[in-house]
Amino acid sequence: MGRLIGDASAADAASLDDLADLVAGADRVFVMGAGRSGLALRMTAMRLMHLGLPVFVVGEVTTPAIGEGDLLLVASGSGTTSGIVRAAEIAVAAGARVAVITTASESPLSALSTVAVVIPAAAKRDRSESASAQYAGSLFEQIVVLVGDALFHALWKRSGASADDLWPRHANLE
């Protein structure tokens, strides 16, 4: 299955540690991504909420304005998605930090970021199948989910909280 799943282990471990440090040190965390990348980050937002972190999904009606001490966590394979780049510019102007998960280390989003986690996956328009046989940005989006879960797990272990401590933050309206 080599090319089908790619080599997620090639992501820079130091940048993942730096991402965890940024999230842990942020006053509030805002997540944003377009399309499937955005859906993947919404999963991360939910897990960060389970840790008790103040986290918001950009675009929701209850999301406050970003400011100094906050972190904008974005995912964009290309690092050029215009709405996400604009949000990162606004965040930086407001004194917030930006963390990006991307395939493009040399991109406008990477240039705006404090931390860039570069994923060795095919770009959305790469049809060569050299990085992955999957369609479009599928591998990138899947790795965004895994990075989000790994981030949650690292922060959870740092917190010392038990699973029972986190459980009351799960939705109970079902």
Q: Tokens in use for 123? A: 């770009």
- Mean pLDDT, residues 84-109: 96
Could you give all domains of the chain from N- to C-terminal order, each with its CATH number?
2-58+66-156 (3.40.50.10490)
Catalytic residue among 60, 89, 141, 174: 141
Please say if 141 is a catalytic residue: yes
* 74 phi and psi angles, rounded to 5 deg: -125, 155
pLDDT digits 0-9 by tens, 124-161: 565 655 556 666 677 888 999 999 999 999 999 999 99
**How many Cβ atoms sit within 10 Å of the Cβ of residue 114?**
16
What pLDDT score was predicted for residue 39? 95
What pLDDT score was predicted for residue 73? 98
**This prediction's pTM:** 0.87
